[in-house]
Structure 1
Amino acid sequence: MRTFADNLLLRPIRTLATAFALTILLSGCQSLGTNGLVASNAPAEISGPAASAIAGDMVSRLAEQIGPGKATVALKADTSPFGQALEAALKGWGYGVVTDQKTDDGTKIIPLAYMIVPFDGQVLARLSTDNVELGRAYTVTASGAAPASALSLMRRG
């Protein structure tokens, strides 16, 4: 049985471990894919409600960085719950979404990659564009997901 003092010591260590893992997730895969973007990946085990909660939170944070509905977002076609939730959240914020990479010549395209990684009882989420990377840890429940860490933001020159 853990004592109060044990819990006080374990909580910061667990938070530090999550932050460290999130940092590795954000920086370790930087060179994969084209233009510095990692290939999109999300496990199919994430439930629809959890995927929607994570996608909604991450897209709202992305909109704070690139402006709401100002461009068309290019996504890899994905039938996973998170891929579908991400596309719906982007459209809900007013972004055009293309998966076949074909657009009109004058359309501003923002390539977007994502990664969802289960880690230590939580889920680490990452959205990447050519200029911005966002990452956050989430605690997944039966009814959705809740942020378990601060938002990590990295801007590229």
Structure 2
Amino acid sequence: MRTLTALVLTAALASGCQSTEEALITSSTQVVVTGPAASAIAGDMASRLAERIGPAGTTSIKMENDKTDYATALEAALKALGYTVITNGKVAKDQKPVEISYSLDSFDGQVLGHLGTPSVALGRTYAVTGAGATPSSPLSVMQRN
């Protein structure tokens, strides 16, 4: 009888740990940000990345420029900080560029910016207006080993 009671109690406790498929549903979609908003986000993300990847004079950056306003603004912001930016994929034999990835996604009426390297990933949300974009969250930093 004790075994049956223990089994029923264990089953009851375990069933309380299950969740339904409706628990947390989050989704994000790629968003196109243009003009002043693209420049504001790119400038902020580039300066935050510069704090973590090393000096501009000795570090080059490799990125894919997909010809969006954000990619163009990100390239310009990195160059303005003094980095050599490689967008054509042609790396000299003596160069070891830091390869970056980037994205902008729409989430809960805001724009989520992501900028990553093999060693660090940065993320932040922005409130976008016609005049530009302002950070609406603290900077999220993830260090990778």
Indicate if the aligned counterparts of 2:114 and 2:121 stay in contact, CA closer than 8 A.
yes
Q: 1:83 aligns with which of 71, 75, 84?
A: 71
Aligned positions, number? 119
Max radius of gyration: which structure?
2
42 and 92 in structure 1: CA distance in 2 versus 1, 3 angstrom threshold: farther
Normalising by structure 1, we get a TM-score of: 0.71
Question: Is 2:118 the counterpart of 1:130?
Answer: yes
AA matched with 2:90: K
Q: 1:61 aligns with which of 26, 38, 48?
A: 48
Question: Is 2:135 the counterpart of 1:147?
Answer: yes
* Structural RMSD (CA): 1.9
Paired residue for 1:100? 88
AA matched with 1:51: A
Matched residues in 2 for 1:77 and 1:103: separation? 15
Normalising by structure 2, we get a TM-score of: 0.76
Structure with the higher fraction of residues in helix conformation? 1
Report sequence identity in percent.
48
AA matched with 1:65: R
Residue 104 of structure 1 and its aligned partner are, at CA, apart by 1.5
| Structure 1 runs of 4+ with >4 Å offset | none
Deviations 1:92-128 (A, max 9, x none): 1111111122121111211100010011110000001
Question: Is 2:61 the counterpart of 1:73?
Answer: yes
Unaligned runs of 5+ in 1: 1-20, 26-40
**What secondary structure is seen at the aligned counterpart in 1 of 2:118?**
coil
Matched residues in 1 for 2:128 and 2:34: separation? 9
Unaligned runs of 5+ in 2: 1-25
Paired residue for 1:114? 102
Residue 137 of structure 1 and its aligned partner are, at CA, apart by 0.3
